[in-house]
Amino acid sequence: RERAAQQEHAAAQAERARLERQSAALADAALARCPVCEGELTPEHRAALLARNEHEMAALAQRIQDCSRTLNDCTRALRDCEREANALQRRLRALPSAEDLARAEAEEARRRTTLEERRGDVRALAGVPERVEALRAELAAWGDPRREYQRCEDQVAQREDLEAQEAATRAADSAAWRRLEALEDALREHEGLDAALSAARAARERYRADHDAYLAHETTARQYEARRAKEAALVADVEARVAEEERLAEAHQLALAAYDAQEHTAVRARVDGVRQELAGCTAQLSERRARLETVEAEVARLHEVEKELAAHRDRTDALQWLTRTVETIREWLRLAGPYVTRQLVLQISREASAFYGDIMADHSGRLQWSEDYEVMLEVKGQQRSFRQFSGGEQMVAALAIRLALLREISAVDIAFFDEPTAHLDPERRESLAERIMQVKGLAQMFVISHDDTFERAAQSYIRIVKDERGSHPEPA
């Protein structure tokens, strides 16, 4: 729950920051743009967006407060749980642990096992003396001298070993008996362990309910001092109230002694009059409050109208500034128009002169295209107008100007040339074809001609023939 509250708190903070940035951008009348389409906002749309953002920011603020309260509640609950867990840990450490009980039971089992092993050793060694006596009786009962002698020799030879074995056996027997006595002594020390363990378990079960009750009432017990203090305060308050009651009773008796019924009636009449007057004043107050609310609502509406008026004024100022800026730019463009036209015509004239010289194979002349669209040719200081050109010169000059216009100011990448080689001699037709093919920036070029000048340079051509069937493409 705490993690979810933290995540919701962080998300609400981020969303509120985004809305604040958006509202700041919308508040700027000159820079406000639609957050979706980036288009210019109308005042109504911008006001609606600002109102929506304010509503969402208020809701986010409430969400942030709720998340903060939730986080505080989780923190307090966590602290309470930690304190309770620490108290339980302290009580748990004070009690015998399961590990201590398991170790005691394991030690008891180990000692019982050791005792049984030692008793087994004692039982195994219990018949050794009787066996020795039986062997001696059997040795005495044998009567074969040789075998007796041999046996005696063997016995003599084995006497030391047997005596050593007997001594060792007796020593082992004595040690076993001593160990048995020691184990019995040790066992006697733990004779009451089972009873004590059973008693401890019974006591634990007997006091478990009390222990649980103690844990259940521990919280109430911690409030004992506070409740004792509250009890003392309440007792003192009761005593004070009893004393006050006695004092008021005495005052009441004195008041009864001094009571005047007629004066009481007169005072009651005055009170009734004052109440009627108060009722009238209350009605007037209600009416004036209603009027005040109406006036306040009207004032609030006028404030809203004032804000809208200020927004409209800002919008009007921005539009007026934009209008002045556009008019200024238009004036600059109008003033710069002749200069731009002059420079553009000069550039086109230079380009056309270069085309003309290349096509005519003669760069001694300079073709000029004036601002009034007059075409002049200057050769060695002598100028001729377009009307004074020969037919071939007029065709080349017109093509040169059109090629220059196509290169400099046109964005069209398709060009059509209708009879561009008319009135030209073969050499100039070849120059014109080469020059036209060198024009860059054209995706497609169509040339309509009655000669084959462009066939060698064209990627594809269609030949039209005319016969008795009319005009039609020549078969490939």
CA distance 81 to 73: 12
Query: φ, ψ for residue 258 (rounded to 5)?
Result: -95, 10
- Residue 321: pLDDT above 90? yes
Question: What confidence tier does 146 reach under pLDDT thresholds 50, 70, 90?
Answer: low
For 47-119, list the strands marked E by DSSP: none
Query: What is the C-alpha to C-alpha distance for residues 460 and 454, in angstroms, rounded to an integer?
Result: 10
Tokens coding 370: 């004036």
Q: Check whether residue 83 and residue 154 sit in a common domain.
A: no
Q: In what order do the strands lie in the sheet with 375-379?
A: 365-369, 375-379, 382-385
Instruction: Provide the angle, in degrees to the nearest 10, between the axes of the packed helices 98-125 and 145-189.
Output: 160
Residue 325: pLDDT band with limits 50, 70, 90:
very high
314, part of any domain: no
Can you tell me whether residue 142 is helix, strand or coil?
coil
Give the domain range for residue 153.
Answer: 149-191
Q: Does residue 432 fall inside a structural domain?
A: yes
298-335 per-residue burial string, b: 16 or more CB within 10 A, e: under 16: eeeeeeeeeeeeebeeebeeeeeeeeeeeeeeeeeeee
Domain final residue, candidates 61, 94, 127? 94
Tell me, yes or no, whether 77 lies in a domain. Answer: yes
How far does Cα 244 stand from its chain's mean position?
A: 65
**Using one digit for the tens of pLDDT, what is the confidence trace for 99-135?**
666 676 777 777 777 777 767 766 666 665 666 566 6
pLDDT band at 326 (very low <50, low <70, confident <90, very high): very high
Give the Cβ contact number of residue 156 at 10 Å. 10
Instruction: Find out whether 347 and 409 touch, Cβ atoms under 8 Å.
Output: no
Nearest to 43 by CA among 259, 315, 281, 301: 315
Quick one: which of 405, 362, 364, 370 has its CA closest to 386? 370
Give the pLDDT of residue 37: 41
Closest CA to 362 of 282, 431, 302: 431
* Cβ burial, residue 11 (10 Å; 0-12/13-18/19+): middle
pLDDT at 173 over 60: yes
Query: Do 7 and 82 have their domain in common?
Result: yes
Asked whether residue 467 is assigned to any structural domain, the reply reads yes
24 plus 90 within the same structural domain: yes
User: Is 306 among the domain residues?
Assistant: no
Task: State how far the Cα of 357 lies from the Cα of 366, in Å rounded to an integer.
Answer: 8
Q: Among residues 283, 264, 108, which one has the least CA distance to residue 191?
A: 108
Number of compact structural domains in the chain = 3
Give start and end residues of each alpha helix (H) in 361-449: 391-408, 426-437
pLDDT level of residue 439 (50, 70, 90 thresholds) = low
| Distance in angstroms (rounded) separating the CA atoms of residues 68 and 73 | 9
Report the C-alpha gap between 123 and 146 in whole angstroms: 38
CATH number of the domain to which 56 belongs: 1.10.287
Q: Which DSSP symbol is given to 183?
A: H
Cα–Cα distance measured from residue 192 to residue 442, given in angstroms and rounded to the nearest whole number: 117
Domain boundary at 68, 94, 120, which?
Answer: 94
21-80 pLDDT, tens digit per residue, is: 767 766 765 445 554 444 455 677 777 777 877 787 788 778 777 777 777 777 777 777
DSSP 454-467: TTTT-SS---EEEE
CATH number of the domain enclosing 450: 3.40.50.300
* Residue 391 confidence (pLDDT): 79
User: What H or E segment, with its residue span, contains residue 367?
Assistant: strand 365-369
Could you tell me if 82 and 14 lie in one domain? yes
Examine residue 261 and state whether it is found in any structural domain, yes or no. no
Q: 329 falls in which pLDDT band (50, 70, 90)?
A: very high
Answer yes or no: is 13 within a domain: yes
pLDDT exceeding 70 applies to what percent of the chain? 75
* Residue in 340, 400, 392, 409 with CA at minimum distance from that of residue 369: 400
Alpha-helix residue ranges (DSSP H) falling in 361-372: none
pTM for the structure as a whole: 0.33
**Concatenated DSSP letters of 301-320:** HHHHHHHHHHHHHHHHHHHH
**Selection from 391, 474, 402 nearest residue 445 by Cα:** 402
Task: Find the mean pLDDT for residues 182-203.
Answer: 69
Q: Are residues 38 and 15 in contact, defined by beta-carbon separation less than 8 angstroms?
A: no
- Residue at which a domain ends, from 124, 157, 191: 191
What backbone phi and psi angles, to 5 degrees, belong to 420? -70, -20
Residue bearing tokens 């004595």: 174
User: What residues pair up with 414 in beta bridges, in sequence order?
Assistant: 444
For residues 82 and 153, state if they share a domain.
Answer: no
Average per-residue pLDDT in the chain?
76
- Cβ atoms 425, 434 nearer than 8 A: no
CA 440 from chain center: how many Å? 55
384: left (phi over 0), alpha (psi -120 to 50) or beta: beta
Is residue 222 domain-resident? Answer: no
* pLDDT reported for residue 3: 66
Distance (Å, rounded) from C-alpha 166 to C-alpha 168?
5
pLDDT at 92 over 70: no
CA pair distance 237, 250, nearest whole angstrom: 20
Mean pLDDT across 76-87: 73
- Whether the pLDDT of residue 473 is over 80: the answer is yes
